[in-house]
Amino acid sequence: MPNDVQMNDAGAEKQDDWVKITSSDGYSFLVKRSVAMISGTLKNMLSEDSSFREAIANTCPISERAAVVEKVCEFMSFKAYYEGPGSKEGVDVNEFTERIPPEVALELLLAADYLEV
Amino acid sequence: MSRRRNNVRGPMSALTEFLRESGINPDTIARRVATQNQAENLSPSVAGPSNSGDNVEGALEQEQQEEDVPQASNGRRTRGRASRAIDYASDELDDPEEESPAKKRKSTKGRATAVAKAKAKKKAKEDGDYEGSSEDEYTAVSKNLWSMGGNGGPKPPVGSFENCAKCEKQFTVTKYTMAANPPPGYLCHPCSKASGNDPFKKPAVPRKRKPVADKRDIVSYEERRFPTLAAMCIELITRYIDDVEALGDIGSMNMDEIAKALSKNRGLTPENAHLFYDVLNKKLRFYDATNLTPDALATLASLNPNLTHLHLDYCGRLTSPVLSGFATSMPQLTSITLLGPFLVRAEAWIEFFKAMPCLRVFKITQSPRINLKCVQALAESCTKLEELSLREIGLMDDTFADPLCSLSPLRVLDLAFPGIGIDEDGWIRLMETHGGTLETLDASKHEGFTDHVLLDGVRKYARVLLELKLQECLDLTDEGVAQFFTDWASPISTLKHDDDDDDDDMDVDSAPDDVSAVSLGEFTPNPPLHVLSLARNQELSSAALTAAIIHSAQSLTWLNVNGLRGASSEALAELKRATELRYLDVGWCRELDDFVMKDVVTACTKLSEIKVWGCSRVRGVGWGVKSTGMLTSLNKLTQWHKTFTIMMSLSIQGVALAIGLLAFFAIVRWMSPHKRHMPPGPTPIPFLGNVFDINADALWVSYTKMRETYGNIVYTSALGMDIVVLNSEEVANELLEGRSQIYSDRPYISTRDLFGWEWATPFLRYGERFKTHRRLFHQVFRPEAILSYRPKQLQKAFEMLPRLLHDPTGYAGHFESSVLICLLPKPQVLLLDRFSASVIMSVVYDYDIASHDDVIVSAAKGAMDLFLRVATPQKTALFAAFPFLMKLPCWVPGLGLKDAILSKKYVKDMLDMPYDYVIRNRAS
């Protein structure tokens, strides 16, 4: 799972390339396109038939601080990993709930709501 | 702790009291977990820090460390046990020379009795019986063997030499060295192996308490959805709601979700309710306002002055003055929905209606005090009313029809589950008034809602009806409903003549004729229904179901046909036409099978929830797996009513009942019986005994018959088990009460351990453990002690009474144990009371049963369901006769061994969750 959020130079395939998500305080996160597509809002932003600036630059700004954006990326990777093919075993979803620090929960809720994840 | 310091203490739950007296608090629990593994690795001679002086017993160290109270250990277990057997409360329990300084100090403070009691309890703890509160008793014995010599002295250090107690050879002491049995001394490896104890056997690892979150995945339904991040956040926020200062601008949807999540564990309190308030709020909904006091509810009104929509569920503490306050503080209120406003009086309602002429939506569920005058006031004052719901109104009868008819045409009319109900005539008038605008109609449990009302009321007047709920309208017939749905779409006049012969007694005939004549020209058929409930109409069957589905198939999204027992599988197969279905309840449709379900699930792609309770032929084969992303209740309670109900209770009544019944019909003797001394009885056949003389489904009938022939004491046997039946109260009293010394014991129920019920007091055989239980019971439930629970009992009684008033026929349901009620198929019984269960849970654990999906109740439900379904008396007898069957691997079919494993899990949850709850709450 960690390699979903790591830096990667290649980016050969369209489905397999990387997109950049930036937070309001200047951090940026690289996630696979398939991972970013989990979020409805990001999906629309990156939609190929749109000519949004985000789609062209492959960069999506999220106006939340890095701690929140990081958790969002983590969740998307988590979901992509467990919903993807090959991992049919039961998912303990509580596992992720435990990884959310309570102090960001409210902000995260707002971000999650906005990003439709 | 601070709570204790201020000397104000309310009634405490029994467990809390017990834990407090024993000095167990969250810290010690936490420390115990931390020290447990460590303690095991240490050699027993390395004593724990709290042990000093002559403290020697390795096995006891662990327990004593938990106690956190300096205490001199009682060196001789055997003596402790013996003295306890005499009298637990006596001070002889503590040998004088062993009395600790701590105790002496306390004794001088005049608290001798309390301390002695606490000590007695501790000693009970030291004994294997109560070790680790619920740990397996058998591990205790082996632990003791491991660590201490029979002479009570410490085990010699590892590496030293000892002489074997049996073979007298010298050997090296290792950490695997075991004590000799009988004491004194130690055994060398060959000897201890020969004596049947495997020295290398790992000690049973103390069961770790799993976090509650892990355990909750066992529920009666399965949800296969990946939760959204937002849902997770909401769950998390709910958990930490008391630390939240303000929710901020999270949007009304999220706010609502949090309120919903809070209701799951009754988390809404006067303190955190403020998070949901805002001057600008237009809408507010609380899903469980049980903990909001009248003051808090008054605050609600004053802090949300601009509310237009207010919805409060379980607002039991809403009083008359508060409701008046609502009227003045929230002038813009147009919609109010209340569940359970028991305390509001009729005058207050009338006053409220007068103050609120603009009310558009008025929905009340469960109010015993709404009477004719209230409804009249409503009709007079609230002329703009569009939606009216008066559910479960105890006083509703025919007279309500008049004021209801004088209301302006309604869009929603819900008069479900009344006390008496509106008659046929009233319903026809209601339909005449409101039919043209009515979109939602709920006439559940109105006996006056007959075929005739359907044909001459609903069919004639309804034009835009989308939701129709007719649960338990027992006067509806299969033909009538089928005819209604078949003809609904066609104009009335074409069928008028066919109907005429039925309507011989119709004095209203003239009026409907006029209407139909008028509407003849512009007849628009009612559109197909979206929501339909025909649940628990046992008269209805295939014809009605088929007609209803054909009529509304294209638009039906929600369908409840629970309890249509007679519906054939062909009729149920028609369900596949309803492709828009999202919710389907086909519980107790006996003909339903997997093939039909497979078709339905394949055809109705939008289905998100299916309920198939009590469908014995549905096993989920072929479709259950496919339906991922779906909420499926697959509980098959097919046999619950056949089996014993005595073994199932958590409640005191249940326990008493179980003890009484068990003792009443059986005193079982295991050792080879002296048959010639047995009382008279029917002649047994070899081995099987009297199996064929006893009807297992109705034992009492068989036994009553035997009384006529054999007298009050009858001997029977079945599968090698001897049963002595006491057939009169007098004899039972004489033997079980008067000579209880001889006769007090219970039969061994072979499935007890298998299903994880070995802890349950009613099933315990006479012995140390039983005595401990009795002692504990005596401590907290003796007549003087229970006085302190009275406030709680009263509170629960007050909660129960209004429900009793509403539904006097469900009398038994109000009092039976929660578990029994959970097993009943009727959801409204579930909603009604679990009086006894709520008292018990409240008294023992200080736990209020949550309004919906209570996790503990559902665990108990699972456990009971399995025990009743699988551990039938027949199976019990089978296991008793052939104990080796219990050792078979769990895949062996027909024995329910798999269920036994599952049952153990449920039982564990049932025990642990309330306990965890207490521990958690003590921590906070």
- Is B320:B348 a contact under the CB 8 Å cutoff? yes
Nearest to A113 among B230, B244, B248 (CB): B230
> For residue range B108-130, what is the model confidence (pLDDT) as tens digits?
444 444 445 555 444 444 444 44
Is residue B815 located within the same domain as residue B706? no
- Is A112:B234 a contact under the CB 8 Å cutoff? no
% of chain B surpassing 90 pLDDT: 19
Cβ-based contacts of B254 with chain A (< 8 Å): 109-110, 113
Is B218 touching A (CB cutoff 8 A)? no
- CA pseudo-torsion sign B841, B844, B846, B847: negative
What is the rounded CA–CA span in Å between residue B520 and residue B866?
A: 59
Is B236 touching A (CB cutoff 8 A)? yes
- Asked if A117 and B228 come within 8 Å (Cβ–Cβ), the reply is yes
Is residue B707 located within the same domain as residue B808? no
Residue B145 has pLDDT above 60, yes or no: no
Is B227 touching A (CB cutoff 8 A)? yes
Query: Is B383 part of any domain?
Result: no
- Asked if A100 and B254 come within 8 Å (Cβ–Cβ), the reply is no
- The residues that bridge with A105 in the sheet, in sequence order, are none
Query: What pLDDT, on a 0 to 100 scale, did the predictor assign at position B311?
Result: 94
Residue A83 has pLDDT above 90, yes or no: no
> What average pLDDT is seen over chain B?
72
- Asked if B250 and A113 come within 8 Å (Cβ–Cβ), the reply is yes
B-chain residue closest to A71, CA distance: B229
- Nearest Cα of chain A lies from the Cα of B156 at a distance, in angstroms, of 46
Query: What pLDDT, on a 0 to 100 scale, did the predictor assign at position B243?
Result: 86
> For residue range B56-70, what is the model confidence (pLDDT) as tens digits?
444 444 444 444 444
- Nearest Cα of chain B lies from the Cα of A111 at a distance, in angstroms, of 8
The whole model's pTM is what?
A: 0.51
Give how far the C-alpha of residue B488 lies from the chain's centroid of Cα atoms, to the nearest Å.
Answer: 42
Collapse the DSSP code of B365 into the 3-class scheme (helix H, G, I; strand E, B; otherwise coil) and give the result: strand
Is B233 touching A (CB cutoff 8 A)? yes
Query: What pLDDT, on a 0 to 100 scale, did the predictor assign at position B263?
Result: 87
- The amino acid that residue B862 corresponds to is G
Query: What pLDDT, on a 0 to 100 scale, did the predictor assign at position B225?
Result: 64
- Asked if B232 and A97 come within 8 Å (Cβ–Cβ), the reply is yes
Residue B525 is classified by DSSP as P
- The residues that bridge with B221 in the sheet, in sequence order, are B633
Q: What is the CATH number of the domain that holds B574?
A: 3.80.10.10
- The amino acid that residue B797 corresponds to is A
Is residue B121 located within the same domain as residue B31? yes
Is residue B686 located within the same domain as residue B565? no
Confidence category of residue B670, pLDDT binned at 50, 70, 90: very low
Cβ-based contacts of B234 with chain A (< 8 Å): 109
The half-sphere exposure of B755 on its side-chain side, counting CA atoms within 13 A, is: 29
> For residue range B260-282, what is the model confidence (pLDDT) as tens digits?
888 888 888 898 898 899 888 89
Collapse the DSSP code of B478 into the 3-class scheme (helix H, G, I; strand E, B; otherwise coil) and give the result: helix
Query: In chain A, positions 30-89, which contact chain B (CB-CB < 8 Å)?
Result: 71-72, 75, 79, 82-83
Query: What pLDDT, on a 0 to 100 scale, did the predictor assign at position B257?
Result: 87
Residue B18 has pLDDT above 90, yes or no: no
Is residue B624 located within the same domain as residue B485? yes
Is residue B630 located within the same domain as residue B683? no
Is residue B725 located within the same domain as residue B842? no
Query: Which has more confidence, B878 or B424?
Result: B424
Weakest-pLDDT range from A25-34, B158-167, B510-519: B510-519
Provide the pairing of β-strand A18-22 with A28-32: antiparallel
Collapse the DSSP code of B338 into the 3-class scheme (helix H, G, I; strand E, B; otherwise coil) and give the result: strand
Query: What pLDDT, on a 0 to 100 scale, did the predictor assign at position B142?
Result: 44
> B112-126 and B77-86 helices cross at what angle (nearest 10)?
120
Residue B322 has pLDDT above 90, yes or no: yes
Query: Which has more confidence, B852 or B53?
Result: B852
Mutant choice from B216, B223, B233 vs A, greatest count of A C-beta within 10 A: B233
Give backbone dihedrals phi and psi of B164, rounded to 5 degrees, phi first.
-65, 140
Cβ-based contacts of B236 with chain A (< 8 Å): 97, 100, 102, 105
Give how far the C-alpha of residue B57 lies from the chain's centroid of Cα atoms, to the nearest Å.
Answer: 42
Confidence category of residue A13, pLDDT binned at 50, 70, 90: very low
> For residue range B478-535, what is the model confidence (pLDDT) as tens digits?
999 999 999 888 876 544 444 444 433 433 333 344 444 444 446 678 889 999 999 9
Is residue B919 located within the same domain as residue B832? yes
Mean pLDDT of B615-639: 53
- Nearest Cα of chain B lies from the Cα of A54 at a distance, in angstroms, of 23
Query: What pLDDT, on a 0 to 100 scale, did the predictor assign at position B226?
Result: 74
Query: What pLDDT, on a 0 to 100 scale, did the predictor assign at position B840?
Result: 76
Query: Is B185 part of any domain?
Result: no
The total number of structural domains in chain B stands at 4
* DSSP per-residue letters across B747-805: ---HHHHHTT-TT-GGGPPSSHHHHHHHHHHHHHHSTTGGGGGHHHHHHHHHHHHHHHH
Q: Whose CA is closest to B442, among B553, B547, B563, B531? A: B531
Cα angle B687-B692-B697, degrees, rounded to a multiple of 5: 125
Residue B196 is classified by DSSP as T
> For residue range B427-471, what is the model confidence (pLDDT) as tens digits?
999 999 998 899 999 999 998 899 999 988 898 888 899 999 999
Nearest to B234 among A91, A93, A109 (CB): A109
Is A15 touching B (CB cutoff 8 A)? no
Query: What pLDDT, on a 0 to 100 scale, did the predictor assign at position B495?
Result: 47
Mean pLDDT comparison of B78-82, B389-393, B693-697, B757-761, highest-scoring range: B389-393
Query: What pLDDT, on a 0 to 100 scale, did the predictor assign at position B650?
Result: 35
* DSSP per-residue letters across B586-597: -TT-TT--HHHH
- Nearest Cα of chain A lies from the Cα of B254 at a distance, in angstroms, of 8
Is B153 touching A (CB cutoff 8 A)? no
- Asked if A79 and B243 come within 8 Å (Cβ–Cβ), the reply is no
B-chain residue closest to A92, CA distance: B214
Cβ-based contacts of A109 with chain B (< 8 Å): 230, 233-234, 237, 250, 254
Is residue B616 located within the same domain as residue B677? no
Mean pLDDT of B737-756: 78
Mutant choice from A97, A103, A107, A114 vs B, greatest count of B C-beta within 10 A: A97
Mutant choice from B214, B219, B229 vs A, greatest count of A C-beta within 10 A: B229
Query: What pLDDT, on a 0 to 100 scale, did the predictor assign at position B13?
Result: 66
> For residue range B794-805, what is the model confidence (pLDDT) as tens digits?
887 787 777 777
Query: Which has more confidence, B735 or B696?
Result: B735
Domain boundary among B690, B715, B744: B744
Query: In chain B, positions 237-256, which contact chain A (CB-CB < 8 Å)?
Result: 237, 239-240, 243-244, 247-251, 253-254
Structural domain containing residue B56: 11-134
Confidence category of residue B52, pLDDT binned at 50, 70, 90: very low
Confidence category of residue B206, pLDDT binned at 50, 70, 90: low
Distances, alpha carbon B647 to alpha carbons B14, B744, B768, B787, B857, in Å: 23, 18, 22, 28, 16
Cβ-based contacts of B239 with chain A (< 8 Å): 102
Confidence category of residue B245, pLDDT binned at 50, 70, 90: confident
What is the rounded CA–CA span in Å between residue B750 and residue B760?
A: 14
Query: Which has more confidence, B383 or B692?
Result: B383
A2-115 fold: Potassium Channel Kv1.1; Chain A (3.30.710)
- Asked if B254 and A113 come within 8 Å (Cβ–Cβ), the reply is yes
- Asked if B248 and A106 come within 8 Å (Cβ–Cβ), the reply is yes
Weakest-pLDDT range from A19-33, B681-695, B904-918: B681-695
Q: Which residues contact B671 (CB under 8 A, 6 or more apart)?
A: none
Token pair, residue A29, equals 């996160």
> For residue range B551-608, what is the model confidence (pLDDT) as tens digits?
998 899 999 998 888 888 889 988 988 988 999 988 888 888 888 888 888 888 888 8
Name the residue ranges covered by the structural domains of chain A.
2-115
Query: What pLDDT, on a 0 to 100 scale, did the predictor assign at position B168?
Result: 78
Nearest to B213 among A72, A94, A102 (CB): A94
Mean pLDDT of B286-313: 92
Query: What pLDDT, on a 0 to 100 scale, did the predictor assign at position B217?
Result: 41
- Asked if B236 and A102 come within 8 Å (Cβ–Cβ), the reply is yes
Mean pLDDT of B36-48: 47
Weakest-pLDDT range from B231-245, B389-403, B487-501, B567-581: B487-501
Asked if the ipTM is above 0.95, the reply is: no
- Asked if B239 and A102 come within 8 Å (Cβ–Cβ), the reply is yes
Is residue B819 located within the same domain as residue B679? no
Mutant choice from A106, A108, A117 vs B, greatest count of B C-beta within 10 A: A106
Cα angle B692-B696-B700, degrees, rounded to a multiple of 5: 105
Query: What pLDDT, on a 0 to 100 scale, did the predictor assign at position B887?
Result: 80
Is residue B37 located within the same domain as residue B124? yes
Cβ-based contacts of B249 with chain A (< 8 Å): 110
- Nearest Cα of chain A lies from the Cα of B229 at a distance, in angstroms, of 6
Is residue B723 located within the same domain as residue B829? no
The half-sphere exposure of B164 on its side-chain side, counting CA atoms within 13 A, is: 18
- CB-neighbour burial class of residue B308 (10 A; exposed 0-12, middle 13-18, buried 19+): middle
Alpha helices, DSSP H only, in B42-136? 58-67, 77-86, 101-106, 112-126
User: Residue for token digits 């000693």?
Assistant: B123
Residue B407 has pLDDT above 60, yes or no: yes
Query: Is B847 part of any domain?
Result: yes
- The residues that bridge with B320 in the sheet, in sequence order, are none
B-chain residue closest to A101, CA distance: B236
Collapse the DSSP code of B15 into the 3-class scheme (helix H, G, I; strand E, B; otherwise coil) and give the result: helix
User: Residue for token digits 């503490």?
Assistant: B317
Residue B255 has pLDDT above 80, yes or no: yes
Residue B640 has pLDDT above 70, yes or no: no
Cβ-based contacts of A102 with chain B (< 8 Å): 236-237, 239-240, 243
Mean pLDDT comparison of B317-331, B679-693, B821-835, highest-scoring range: B317-331
- Is B420:B446 a contact under the CB 8 Å cutoff? no
- Asked if A109 and B228 come within 8 Å (Cβ–Cβ), the reply is no
Query: Which has more confidence, B199 or A45?
Result: A45
